[in-house]
Amino acid sequence: MKHRRGFIIFLTTCLTLGVLGWAWQARQRSLTNLRVPQTHTATLFLPGNSGGWLSLRGMVTSLDRPHLGHYSLTARVTTDGQVSWQQHAPITTNTLIPVLFKDNTHSHKEARQLVTVLQQLHDRYGITHVNMVGHSSGGTIAYDYLNQTQHAPVTVSRLVCIGADFPGRQPLKQAEPQLHILNLAGAIGSLDNDSEVPIDTVTPLKQLVAGQVASYRFQELRGPVWQMQHSLLHENPAVDRIMIRFLYPPS
């Protein structure tokens, strides 16, 4: 019985690793022939509530290829807002930057800390234009940054929200005529949610930014639970493709 149980555990582990390996290869193949313009606009990746590097790893590393983006920096923000930088490669074009907050459960606070991140990007690395990608409350961190008084001398060009909701948010206070927004929502099967975030809590962003931004687009993605569950949206190859095309459109 003991040997049988060990064999079952071994077999389950092998199957799990096989499925994960297959999924990774499928994700890589979906991006193989995709090309986007190379620019000096960096893209910041903001994880959701209690999120960290594992929340972003698949998305960032899958886009880290010469014809898409370059994973050059990671920003780590302490609880009191101090920022440390880890450089992985030379800063060239389409720089990809995960931003990891130690206190990762207070989006308003993280939005204030984002000022320091962007200020240092400007001062240390000469970056003047950024995009932002926010999963879950990472999207509200980006929105809260845009809607607060203090900003860094960096232009936010494009924003992608993935499964983000906007409870209690106020309309955008000042015009951002350069800003283009893509708002993505997941839906499992015939449900109206991604298991955590209902679609009708994602769509209010349209009213919040109405008349204040260059463009706004909402897209609902519907599919099986292993593609559209809230925590799996940032592991979805279809999201990768939609996102990178939006962030770096043909000039």
pLDDT number for residue 167: 87
DSSP track, 115-126: HHHHHHHHHHH-
**Share above pLDDT 70 across residues of the chain, in percent, rounded to a whole number:** 88
Helix 107-125 vs helix 137-146: angle between axes, to the nearest 10 degrees? 70
* Topology given in CATH for the domain delimited by 34-247: Rossmann fold (3.40.50)
| Residue 86 identity | Q
pLDDT number for residue 122: 98
User: Residue ranges per domain, the chain?
Assistant: 34-247
> Residue 13: is its pLDDT beyond 80?
no
Confidence of residue 18 (pLDDT cuts 50, 70, 90): very low
CA–CA dist 18, 14 (Å, integer): 6
Residue pLDDT, tens place only, 145-204: 999 999 999 999 999 999 999 988 999 999 999 999 999 999 999 999 999 999 999 999
pLDDT number for residue 25: 54
Specify the range with the lowest mean pLDDT, choosing from 1-15, 107-121, 136-150, 188-202. 1-15
Please list the helix, strand and coil fractions of the chain in percent, rounded to the nearest 5, in that order: 40, 25, 35
Q: CA of 194: how far to CAs of 50, 54, 184, in Å?
A: 18, 19, 11
Burial of 170 (0-12, 13-18, 19+ CB in 10 A): exposed
Query: Do strands 129-135 and 155-162 pair parallel, antiparallel, or not at all (unpaired)?
Result: parallel
pLDDT number for residue 232: 94
For residue 70, the cross-strand partners are 95
pLDDT number for residue 77: 97
Output 189 or 56, whichever has higher pLDDT.
Answer: 189
> Residue 15: is its pLDDT beyond 70?
no
Q: CA of 11: how far to CAs of 14, 15, 18, in Å?
A: 5, 6, 10
> Residue 1: is its pLDDT beyond 70?
no
For the chain, the average pLDDT equals: 89
Query: Do strands 176-188 and 155-162 pair parallel, antiparallel, or not at all (unpaired)?
Result: parallel
Helix (H, G, I), strand (E, B) or coil at 132: strand
> Residue 48: is its pLDDT beyond 60?
yes
Cβ neighbours of residue 70 closer than 8 Å, sequence gap 6 or more: 64, 89, 91, 92, 93, 94, 95, 96
pLDDT number for residue 125: 97
